[in-house]
């Protein structure tokens, strides 16, 4: 069991790293002339194509064995975890400072903890909530939230919706990965996401010649289509490593550890884009890491509970587990 959850920790950190590295790549494409929603659609469409090709054997097996797929769950996952979180985030960015929008989106793990505690009525290790709150506080320093702070009602609502969709990614992913294989889930989810984002991104009106432009990244020149290819691969890897982690970790723990994405994105922007890091941002990064380490302790609590054999006086029941 310890090896199982340790693999989950590694996978969720890998997923956060791939998500974090995607940020600077997407920014380069936007600076080349693509609208944020166009970049998002290309990212989802390309990653969906790769993941669907990889999922063909699993899809064939599912139909051959006449598996009952949770169609409503797959559609909901595609709408929330693939399309919704990105569309609402970009709407928030259009009306709020980027740091505020990012902070609102990453209240998602706090919503996960609240849902599990008060809706599922499941007792959680204190480390899970403490770690998430520490990481959220660190995130406020990383994004420098107090610089240029302004409020906009629609922007705040969009940010809250992005947080709800992010929470849906962890909660729905935790449930669906126990009902359907990860390749099938990703294939159907990205398919729904592509269709949902198309009316917003309007790829039929996109200036496709932008992809032939030369762009700079990390001091080197590339064609924009090369950066897009890297973005597609990183996005596919992020989802392909993040969802299997939800089979090994609870949604609350995985959400708390996902804050490493912001730290990776800040470091990647510093190295690849030349964006400077202030002392307060460095402090925030350290605080996020402390929060992630604290949340990881919840895994140890889960391990100690599951590694303790039941006795005649204390039989192991569903209620005795710390996390679902």
Confidence at residue 149, expressed as pLDDT on a 0 to 100 scale: 59
pLDDT at 86 over 80: yes
Pairing of strands 214-217, 220-223: antiparallel
Half-sphere CA count of 74, side-chain side, radius 13 A: 18
Tell me the C-alpha distance between 203 and 207, whole Å: 9
What SS3 class is residue 220?
Answer: strand
Sorted by where each begins, the domain ranges of the chain are 2-201+217-303
At how many degrees (to 10) do helices 126-142 and 260-272 cross?
Answer: 30
Among 45-54, 89-98, 237-246, 262-271, where is mean pLDDT lowest? 89-98
Q: How confident is the model at residue 311 (pLDDT cuts 50, 70, 90)?
A: very low
pLDDT in tens, 169-195: 999 999 999 999 999 999 999 999 999
Task: State the DSSP code for 148.
Answer: T
Confidence at residue 308, expressed as pLDDT on a 0 to 100 scale: 43
What SS3 class is residue 65?
Answer: coil
pLDDT in tens, 215-232: 999 889 999 999 999 999
Q: Do 156 and 96 contact (CB within 8 A), yes or no?
A: yes
Segment (H or E) for 75: helix 71-77
% residues pLDDT > 70 (the chain):
87
Which pTM was predicted? 0.84
Confidence at residue 193, expressed as pLDDT on a 0 to 100 scale: 97
| Nearest to 143, CA basis, from 108, 172, 182, 103 | 103
Out of 57-66, 129-138, 222-231, the most confident range is 222-231
Residues 6+ apart with CB under 8 A from 268: 20, 21, 23, 24
Average pLDDT over residues 148-161: 80
């Amino acid at each position: 069991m310890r090896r199982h959850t340790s693999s989950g920790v590694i996978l969720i950190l890998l997923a956060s790293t791939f998500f974090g590295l995607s940020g600077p790549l997407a920014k380069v494409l936007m600076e080349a002339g693509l609208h944020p929603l166009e970049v998002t659609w290309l990212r989802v469409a390309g990653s969906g194509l790769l993941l669907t090709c990889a999922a063909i054997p699993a899809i064939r097996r599912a139909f051959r064995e006449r598996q009952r797929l949770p169609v409503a769950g797959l559609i909901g996952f595609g709408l929330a975890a693939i399309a919704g979180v990105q569309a609402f985030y970009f709407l928030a960015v259009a009306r709020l400072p980027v740091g505020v929008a990012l902070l609102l989106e990453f209240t998602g793990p706090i919503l996960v903890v609240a849902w599990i505690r008060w809706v599922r009525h499941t007792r959680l290790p204190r480390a899970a909530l403490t770690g998430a709150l520490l990481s959220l506080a660190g995130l406020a320093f990383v994004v420098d939230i107090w610089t240029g702070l302004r409020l906009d009602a629609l922007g705040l609502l969009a940010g809250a919706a992005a947080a709800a969709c992010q929470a849906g990614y962890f909660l729905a992913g935790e449930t669906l990965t126990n009902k359907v294989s990860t390749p099938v889930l990703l294939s159907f989810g990205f398919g729904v996401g592509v269709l949902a984002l198309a009316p917003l991104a309007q790829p039929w009106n996109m200036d496709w010649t932008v992809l032939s432009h030369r762009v700079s990244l990390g001091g080197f020149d590339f064609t924009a289509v090369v950066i897009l290819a890297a973005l597609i691969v990183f996005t596919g890897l992020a989802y392909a490593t993040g969802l299997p982690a939800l089979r090994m970790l609870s949604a609350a723990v995985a959400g708390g550890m996902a804050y490493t994405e912001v730290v990776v994105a800040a470091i990647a922007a510093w190295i690849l884009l030349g964006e400077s890091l202030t002392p307060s941002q460095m402090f925030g990064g350290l605080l996020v890491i402390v929060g992630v380490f604290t949340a990881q302790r919840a895994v140890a609590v889960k391990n100690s509970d599951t590694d303790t054999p039941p006795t005649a006086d204390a039989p192991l029941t569903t209620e005795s587990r710390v996390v679902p």
